[in-house]
A and B are shown apart, each in its own frame.
Chain A
């Protein structure tokens, strides 16, 4: 694997491999000294053109725990234009000798563009509404581990609820759970569904009350408040009434059901119960597993023969 830009691109076999490798990284992270020398001498550069706390910190931690060197480059989205200046930035940093770029950008497709400008590996840390593959991998890993499974997730019923249309998390999760054999249902009002179908075999509904009783995994997406001005939903209150996890709906969740959220949570909007009181809430585990999954991704990319390119002259 040279790049991790989307789940669809790497395919089910790589998904399984990365999840298995994550078991090792979880073991490393549980030690008193959670650090291994695996990627000594490699350099990972985080290029974040969009705000992020957990993803950036998670990648930084992951790289350091593998003994890689880390450069972090954070740009306010307004100060850098797309096109030429993005290319200049990438080429300048690459000239310092970078083995992997982790890139987050508000425009879809930027990771593919960047990989044409550098011989380094490219990891998509979130591009526009398009993809967020490491989030999807950590979600899948969290579910797999919570259920004590080691292989795929055949037959598992996963309901993804919220703003599917504008969510890279939703898109990547549909792909990852699909790759693992789960049955995926997306739950959203028609205005928050993408214009084209997400994938073959995905069920679409606007009835959360029906979906919730069936679900083994309930995945709540963050409701981006700025969407309200887009007039795609009439009001937050109406949205919450139909699509939030309310205390009544929480009661009707299966006893075994897991609840995931990519964070940051809008308490009172998509989630109206205290996750600390939901026995199936996996939100903290997701963050913890995120570091291990990103270690697995970086190791898989950079430990391959010939992965170190040393572009510095």
Chain B
């Protein structure tokens, strides 16, 4: 069987430029950075949240960066294997904060749904916004991103892989 080679859709430079733009958009939309907390979703959103935080700091000022693990809030527990990655770590109280959730790929929206439940257990943010590097469509819930690196039409049988080196698409033959 021949496996089609993965197609590169974003390079490392593309990712960096997208993050720079999103950082500007966040500052612009919120008229500054008052009360902003960047929260990366375990595991793929964590490095992106850090990279985005670094961009924001370079442009304007330091903002708190946290991570959240949604494994214990997923709606497919008992249906698919659910493995927690790193524990959640939120550096500041979320009451009254504007949380920018960061993930690598937005797909069905179920992970974000779980993340909203998880966030609520830490406090009552004033607002929650969503930043994703790739929006690949196929939403199953009424969830939309506020900041998008790239809209990427895909078929459900494809797999989108995101690393700091770039974004690739391949046919998901290797998926379990």
Contact = CB atoms under 8 A, between A and B. Distances in A.
B122 A24 contact: no
Interface in B61-119: 69, 71-73, 77-82, 84, 87-89, 117
Contacts of A38: 71-73, 77
A304 B72 contact: no
Interface stretch (A25-33, A217-225, A245-253): A25-33
Contact of B121 (A21, A33, A307, A308): A33
B73 A308 contact: no
7 contacts: A21-B84, A28-B72, A31-B121, A36-B121, A37-B73, A307-B78, A308-B78
Classify chain B's interface size: 10 to 19
Interface in A297-313: 299, 302-308
Given A24-B71, A33-B121, A299-B72, A39 B87 contact: no
A144 B80 CA distance: 30
Interface of A: 21, 23-24, 26-28, 31, 33, 35-39, 66, 299, 302-308
A305 B81 contact: yes
A229 to B, nearest CB: 48
Nearest to B77: A303
A21 to B, nearest CB: 6
Contacts of B78: 302-308
Given A24-B71, A28-B72, A305 B117 contact: no
B121 A27 contact: no
A57 to B, nearest CB: 22
Nearest to A303: B77
A304 B71 contact: no
Interface of B: 69, 71-73, 77-82, 84, 87-89, 117, 121-122
From A38, A39, A304, residue with most partner B Cβ within 10 Å? A38
A21 B2 CA distance: 38
A14 to B, nearest CB: 13
A23 B67 CA distance: 14
Nearest to B123: A32
B122 A31 contact: yes
A193 B77 CA distance: 44
- Which of B77, B80, B84, B117 has the most A CB atoms < 10 Å from its CB? B77
The list of the 5 closest CB pairs from A to B, nearest first, reads: A36-B72, A38-B72, A27-B87, A24-B84, A303-B77
Nearest to B122: A31
A24 B81 contact: no
Nearest to B76: A305
A305 B121 CA distance: 26
A120 B84 CA distance: 23
A305 B80 contact: yes
B111 to A, nearest CB: 15
A299 B89 CA distance: 20
Contact of B87 (A24, A303, A307): A24
B77 A27 contact: no
A37 B116 CA distance: 13
